[in-house]
Structure 1
C-alpha cells in the first residue's frame, strides 16, 4: 500500500490544498445526489403515450421539470469549469507561492524547481480530470432523459461540452495556461483574473467557430407562398435558411404570406425560385468534438512547453534531467 500513497512533493501539494480537494469532492457528491435523486423522482410518474406511441412526460411530473432545470445549471457550470481550474492553478497554486516567496522552502528540501513545478501540475491535472470525468458521468445520468428538449439540444453550450471529449481538453488547457500566467504575472489575484479571461476567450472563440469545422448539409425545395417552410431533419442544428433567386444567389428572405401586414413582407422585387436550409445533422457531433479536442489539446501542449521554458529561463540551474 505504501507504493500507492503520495510521496515527496506530490504529498505536500495534496496536503497543502486538501481543503480545495475536499470542496471539489463535496461538489461532485452534491451533483450526484441532485441529479440521481431527481431522476428517481421523475421515474415515479409514468409517461403519457400519444396516438403514434410517442412518450412524453406527464403534465404533473414535477420531477421531470426540476431535472431539466438542474441539468441546465449543471451544464452551464461545467462550461465554466476550465476557467475555475485555470484560475486556481494560476493563483493559489503558482502565483501565491512566487509572490510570497514560500516556494524557496521547497527548493531547500533537495527539490529542484522543475520537480516542484511538475508536482504542482500533476496534482492539479489529476484532481481536475477526476472531478471533470465524475461530473460528466453524473451528467449522463440525466442526459438520456432530457436530451433534445428546450435548451438541452446536443449542440447547445453546456450539453455539447458535458457529453463529449472536448471538456477534458479544455481543463488540461486551463492547467497549462494557469501554469504559464502564474509564473509570468506572479500576483495571485491578477493571475487568476488573467487566466480566467484567457481560458474563457478560447472557449468563446472555438465555440463560435466549431460549426465551421465541417461542411453543412443543404436541403432545397420550391417556394411556397402560404405553405410551410422547409423542415429540418430531426435533431439537426439549423445554420442558415432563406430563398434563392433565378440566378441561384442566396437571399436573406422571408416567406410570403397573403395576409401579411404590411404587404412589403412579400418578396415582389425578385423572382424567387427556391427555398434552402443549411444544417448540421446529429452525426456531426463526434467528428466536431474530435476536431475541437485536437485543437485544444495542441494548444495545451504548446502552452505547457512555453511554461516549462519560462521556468528554466528563470531557474537556469535546474537540471534538464528533471
Structure 2
C-alpha cells in the first residue's frame, strides 16, 4: 500500500504481537476510591486558620496553663475529700470534720487570690498584643491588599480569641466551685467571699472577656505593644477594683430584728449569710445607727437617751446565701454588656481605620 495513503493509527494486537513501532491507544486513568465523608476531621481553614496560626503560641500557652491549673485543683480537691471523709463528712457534725482543716483552707485561699489575677494576665498578655503587634510591625497593612475586608479580619480575630478565653475561664470556674463547696458550706467563708464570688459561676468568664477586649481596644488605639500592655494592666486592675466595690449592688438585703433592748444581743445571721448593716431598732419600727447615744457623758445619761429615742432592740440587714447565684449572673450580665460595647467599638473603628 502506498505510504501516502492514510490508513489510520496502528493498534497493537491484544496478544502482545505486532510491529515494535506500532502506537497504542492511551489507557484511561485509574479510578481512585472515594473515601467516606465521615472519616474527615473538621479542620480550620481560611481566615480562621490564619488567625489561629498567627497567635497559636498565645492560645496554646493559655490552654496549657489552664490544664495545669485544673489538674492541680483536682488533685487538691481529692486530698480535701479524703480528709473530710476520714472525719465522717458529710454525716457527722461540722465540728468533727472541720478539725485540722486549716491547711486545706489556706490552699483554697491562696488559689483564690491567684485566680483573681487571671483577668489581668489575660488582658495584658493576650488582649493587648492581639492588634498592637500587627499595627506596630506593619502586618496589618496586608489586610488592605487582600480580598477579605478589615471588618472580617477583626471579627475573626475576636471570634477566635473570645472562645479560647471562655473555654479556659469556664473550666477554672467549674473546678473551683467543685473544690471549694465543702469548705464554703461550713467554715468562716461563704459564697459572698470575694475570692469565692469572683472565681466561681459566670463572673470570671465575664471579667476576663472584658479585660481581654479592653486590651484589644487599647492596642488598637495606642498601636504600640509594650505601651498597650502597660496601660491594659492598669485598666484591668481598675476594672477589678471598681467591680469588687459594687459587686453586691444587685443583691437585696434581708432584715431580721430582736426586741431585747439596747443592751441585748443582736440577732444571729443565718449560716452562709453576709451581714451588711447593723442598727438599733425603735418601737415604731425605725432604725438608728449604732453611734446613737455614744456622746452621752455617763451610762445613766445614755440610758435616758435610749429611753427617749424608744430603742427596743437591734436590727441586722444581711444577704442570704440563696442570692449568690442570682447576683453573680446579674453582675456577669453587666460585665458582658460592657464587653459587647467594647467589641462594637473595635469593629466600628476597624471599618474606618485599621492601619
Structure 2 length-normalised TM:
0.75
**Matched residue of 2:338: which SS?**
helix
Q: Deviations over 1:240-298 (max 9, x none)?
A: 11224567341124999xxxxx977x944621322110001112112212221221122
Q: CA deviation at 1:107?
A: 4.4
Does residue 147 in structure 1 map to residue 184 in structure 2? yes
**Matched residue of 2:165: which SS?**
helix
Query: Which residue number in structure 1 is paired with residue 305 of structure 2?
Result: 270
Q: Which of 324, 339, 349 is equivalent to 1:300?
A: 339
Output the CA distance in 1 between the equivalents of 2:214 and 2:73. Answer: 31
Q: Say whether the 8 Å CA contact 1:242–1:277 is kept in structure 2.
A: yes
Across the aligned residues of Structure 1 and Structure 2, the Cα RMSD in angstroms comes to 3.2
Q: Say whether the 8 Å CA contact 1:90–1:191 is kept in structure 2.
A: no
Q: Which of 98, 103, 127 is equivalent to 2:140?
A: 103
Note closer, same or farther for the CA distance 1:128–1:146 as it changes in structure 2 (3 Å cut).
Answer: same
Query: Which residue number in structure 2 is paired with residue 38 of structure 1?
Result: 76
Q: Say whether the 8 Å CA contact 1:213–1:288 is kept in structure 2.
A: yes
Alignment of 1:187-198 (within 5 A): 187-198=224-235
Runs (5+) with no aligned partner, structure 2: 1-38
Does residue 179 in structure 1 map to residue 216 in structure 2? yes
Output the CA distance in 1 between the equivalents of 2:259 and 2:293. Answer: 11
Q: Say whether the 8 Å CA contact 1:174–1:199 is kept in structure 2.
A: yes
Query: Which residue number in structure 1 is paired with residue 206 of structure 2?
Result: 169
Q: CA deviation at 1:124?
A: 1.3
Q: CA deviation at 1:183?
A: 0.8
Q: Say whether the 8 Å CA contact 1:31–1:138 is kept in structure 2.
A: no
Q: Say whether the 8 Å CA contact 2:129–2:216 is kept in structure 1.
A: no
Moved more, 212-221 or 140-149: 140-149
**Matched residue of 1:211: which SS?**
coil
Alignment of 1:240-319 (within 5 A): 240-245=277-282, 248-253=286-291, 267-268=302-303, 270-271=305-306, 272-315=311-354
Note closer, same or farther for the CA distance 1:249–1:153 as it changes in structure 2 (3 Å cut).
Answer: closer
Note closer, same or farther for the CA distance 1:33–1:267 as it changes in structure 2 (3 Å cut).
Answer: farther
- Length, aligned pairs only: 308
Q: CA deviation at 1:149?
A: 5.3
In terms of Rg, which structure is larger? 2
Structure 1 length-normalised TM:
0.82
Q: Which of 13, 19, 25 is equivalent to 2:63?
A: 25
Note closer, same or farther for the CA distance 1:187–1:2 as it changes in structure 2 (3 Å cut).
Answer: farther
Q: Say whether the 8 Å CA contact 1:238–1:278 is kept in structure 2.
A: yes
Query: Which residue number in structure 2 is paired with residue 136 of structure 1?
Result: 173
Q: Say whether the 8 Å CA contact 2:120–2:237 is kept in structure 1.
A: yes
Q: Say whether the 8 Å CA contact 2:264–2:313 is kept in structure 1.
A: no
